[in-house]
Each structure stands twice: as structure tokens, then as C-alpha cells.
Amino acid sequence: MAQDSGSTERSSSVSSYDEAMDALSSLITQKYRADASNNGNRFELMFDYVKILDLEESISKMKIIHVAGTKGKGSTCTFTEAILRSCGFRTGLFTSPHLIDVRERFRLDGLDIGEEKFLAYFWWCWDRLKEKCNDDIPMPNLFRFLALLGFKIFAAEQVDVAIMEVGLGGKFDATNVVQTPVVCGIASLGYDHTEILGNTLGAIAGEKAGILKKGVPAFTVPQPDEAMEVLKEKAAQLDIPLQVAHPLDSKLLNGLHLGLVGDHQYLNAGLAIKLCSTWLQNTGHLEPDSMDQDTSLPHQFIKGLTTATLQGRAQIIPDPSLDIENRGDLVFYLDGAHSPESMEVCAHWFSLAIKEDDRQQSYQSNQEPDSSGTSNELVPLKSGETASKDSAQILLFNCMSVRDPQLLLPRLIKACGGHGINFNKALFVPNMSLVTKVGSSSSLPSTDSAVDISWQLTLQRVWENIILGERGNPNNGAELVSIESKDHSETGIKSCENSVVFSSLPMAIKWLRDAAKQDRSVRLQVLVTGSLHLVGDVIKLLKK
């Protein structure tokens, strides 16, 4: 392991992984988000932390690709990493949030950092910050610490390229301690975190554009006019051209498909291609203008684009608790969409995915499911049944209380409805992941029977009002399959005609499994969305 002397002072046998998670949890604060109203929450402290960790020179020499955006930045970073890894470079990828284990945020050569390495680097940073921090320079909050840890890992592991995804905004984001990236990218912009970034696209674009640097090439995707004007203005102030990357032409993949599912991914892939080709040129690995991205792609680019994977986005998991013959009776469609725009994209993906699933189910398939029960692509799900089975669509939903369900849920319902898809039932649950604790993959937090579900009841009221209006529309006469499980008076806090609120996610999963076992003539297709934390909780439960 390439690391500084002293980084193994504290061995993993002495400091367990759970102890590290407890230490991380102590950095969580509800007042950590930096914005203009709090002067970036003293953003200048980041440079003090970098100095304490002796990372100034390492970061300045690191060949970084920096990416911001409202939606698509994680996918763009994933494509970018996969392309450059396919080109033979040692890659480091920093993303957020994690779904199951915090080590997901730090990927080396496409793999989550191993536990032993993670612990060594974690305690190296932790001990030095603990020793040097004081009242004037307090310990960094959680995300800032994780960003610093990412820089430490990538510097010590001597990666050729570090792809850094912005956590929130851009100007005051912890990753923006980077002063000389090789290239910057801004993915699609939309309304999210408006309580911090502003409630206009112009204000949001201004915060995201904070990652742009003088002399550093910058790319974005086609944006709404209001956002594009601000981005161009910020770029002009820095005397840099802002180039627009257009969606990838699928024909350039030579008959293959993107590793990340969904039509919107061609937009993210197009941005990733520009970031990679520019990085290759500016680091001396590719002659300028030697690649015509409009007519062909190098085979390494195609390999990266078609093998990229990202957990929790457009992911399909047949329920592993059912036997192989009936695994297709309960299938979870997971997507961490949590903005109005991404809700619409998620709805289109889900609608097309279940139609393809229904089409595949009309044939007897001899193909067994993947041994893990998971897939990022649509695969035939052997159920032993034919097209005589009815299918029912169920929504499993939660979102943060700072988000407006009046903006999220109607977009989801309308987009699904446009494909002729109507939900039979919506299930609302609190997340299991706690905002006050960083968990590990080895254990699930215990279900708190006294959990506050007032927000879920609010979501239910919004849903029922929307459905009442939709179903009252004479043009919406969709026939819905009757779906019901055993009496849920003990598990459901409140049951309405079109929805149920559960006090915990495990109770909702049990209700779905009971329903699938009760009526073998119906296949349940469950869309899990609204929160990446919820998606992570579901994946963790299904793996147990």
C-alpha cells in the first residue's frame, strides 16, 4: 500500500470498522451545509484541513476531473472513470452518497476501497485532525472529512486520474478545494436543495458554476436557457469557453448498450466522452483533435461506456427470498431519483422496463437469474408461468422532508400514466438509515417502534389527493389488478384506498412478500424511489 510513514500507527485489529463508523458519526451535524447565508460555513477552513494533512502539494499535482450538477453527475463520473480505466489508467473515483457502506464513496480502479486500506487511511487523517483542530479550527463535518479522506487515499495510492463528484452545489462544496483541475463538467441542472442553493435555475447554476476555474476547460450539457445564461456568464468572467456536450449517438456503440440503463444516460455519456478526451489531450496522452467523436469512438471508450455500473440507479432486483421458479413474482425496480426532473426520467425507465419484463414473461425462459439476484440490465426472469399472469405496479416511496411531494409525485404519476402505467398501491415508509449515524454493511439499524411517521402520513395525503383527482378523470379508466396482503392492522399505521403507511421498511417488505405468496396469479412490480437512502436500505434488506 503506497502511503506515508505513520499511516499504519493504528492497526485495524485495534480499531475496528465499527469504531471508525462511530467516529464518523460524531462529525454529523444538521447545520453543516455551506451556503451564501453562512459565508460558506467558513469554507476557508478546508484549506486549513488540507494543510494539517499535508495534502497541498499532492492535490495541486493530482490530475483531477471535477463534476457538478443537479442530476446525472454521478452517472457522468461513473462513465468517465470506466472509460479512463479501460484506457489503462489507475483511477480514483469519489462519489456520494453511499447506499450501503461508506467505502463505496472511494473507488480504486473501479472497486470500492478495501476495509484494511480504508481503516489505515481513515485513522491517519482522523488522528492528525484530532491533534491539530481546536476552537478556531474545529473538526470538519462529515462530508468535508470524507472529501479530505478521498484526496488522501488518491494521493497515497498514486492514481493517474481522480474523478471528484461534487456533493452539493459547487462554490462552497468540500471538493472545491481543488484549484487546478484538468477539466470541469456540469451535468444537467434542475430544482433540488433549493433551500440552500436558491429557488431559481439561475441561482442554482451560479452555485454549480463555482467549480469553474480560470484556464481550465469546461463542458456542460444542453441546459434550460436561464441556467445556460448564468453558466456562460460565469465562464466568460473566467475567460474560458464553455463547450456544450451533446448526447452520445447510440450508433457509435457498435450495437452494444450503455452500462447504465435509460435514454437520459446518453446525455451523461456524451459529457463523459468530452471530459475524457479533454483529459487525455491535456495530460499529453492524446493528440488534440485526433479523435472525431461524431463518427467513431476508440474501443476503450466503448468498453468503458458499456461496462460502467452504478448501484441504485435503474437497478432491477428479483426478490431473493422467493424460490427460483417464483422469483419473478416480486421484482424491485430501484432508482434513487429525488428531484422533479429525475422523477420523470425514473418513471419513463420504470414504465419501459416493466413492459419489457411483461414481454419477456410471455415466453418460457431457460435462463436462470444471476446468482446474486441483481442486475443493472433487463434480464428474463424465470417464473415458470406464462403471459396469463397479471402484473400489478406498486410504489415504495420516501423522500426528505425538505423536498416538496407536490412537485415530485405528480410528475411520477403523470409520466407513468403517459405509458399507460397506473400504480395499484403506494407504500410510504421511513428510511432505516439514520441521519445521525454512519452505518456499515455488516448490520442493519434496529427498527424503532417509536419512529415519527408524521412525514409519511403527509406523503400519503398528497398521494390520495392526486389519485382522487386522476381516477376521477373519465379519461383515466384504467383497470387495476386487485392486490392485497393479509390484514395489516398490526403493521400498517394507516391504510387508505390507494396507499398504506408502514412504521418500518421491513414491515412493508413483509407485506409485499405476503402478497406475492398469497396470490400466485399476480406479479408484483415495485418501484422504489424518492430517496437514495431508501434505495440503499432496500438493497441491504434484500441481501440479508
Annotated binding-site residues for Mg(2+) read 96, 165, 193
Rounded to an integer, what distance in angstroms lies between the CA atom of residue 529 and that of residue 340? 12
Instruction: Please state the residue numbers annotated as binding site.
Output: 96, 165, 193, 313, 335
Which DSSP state fits 30?
A: T
Q: Which has the closest alpha carbon to 163: 346, 310, 23?
A: 310
Rounded to an integer, what distance in angstroms lies between the CA atom of residue 31 and that of residue 393? 39
Sign for the pseudo-dihedral over CA of 324, 325, 327, 328? positive
Sign for the pseudo-dihedral over CA of 307, 93, 538, 21? positive
Q: How many CB atoms lie within 10 A of CB 287?
A: 9
Q: DSSP string covering 426-453, please?
A: EEE---SS-TT----TT-PPPP-TT---
Enumerate the β-bridge partners of residue 317: 332
Q: Which has the closest alpha carbon to 274: 218, 205, 210?
A: 218
Q: Which has the closest alpha carbon to 108: 140, 68, 149, 67?
A: 149
Rounded to an integer, what distance in angstroms lies between the CA atom of residue 9 and that of residue 420? 60
Q: How many helices (H) and strands (E) does the chain have?
A: 17, 15
Alpha helices in 362-495, H assignment, sequence order? 405-417, 454-471
Sole residue written with cell 456540469: 186
Rounded to an integer, what distance in angstroms lies between the CA atom of residue 100 and that of residue 108? 18
Q: DSSP string covering 265-297, please?
A: HHHHHHHHHHHHHHHHHHTTSS-TT---TTT--
Burial status of residue 162 (CB atoms within 10 A of its CB: 0-12, 13-18, 19 or more): buried
Instruction: Please state the residue numbers annotated as binding site for ATP.
Output: 313, 335
Using alpha carbons, list the distances in angstroms from residue 277 to 84, 183, 289, 330, 413.
9, 10, 9, 42, 39
Sign for the pseudo-dihedral over CA of 3, 10, 176, 42? negative
Contacts of residue 430, defined as CB under 8 A and 6 or more positions apart, other chains included, come to 398, 451, 452, 453, 455, 456, 503, 504, 505
Taking CA 57 as the corner, what is the angle to CA 185 and CA 137, rounded to the nearest 5 degrees?
Answer: 90
Enumerate the β-bridge partners of residue 524: 330, 392
Rounded to an integer, what distance in angstroms lies between the CA atom of residue 458 and that of residue 176? 37
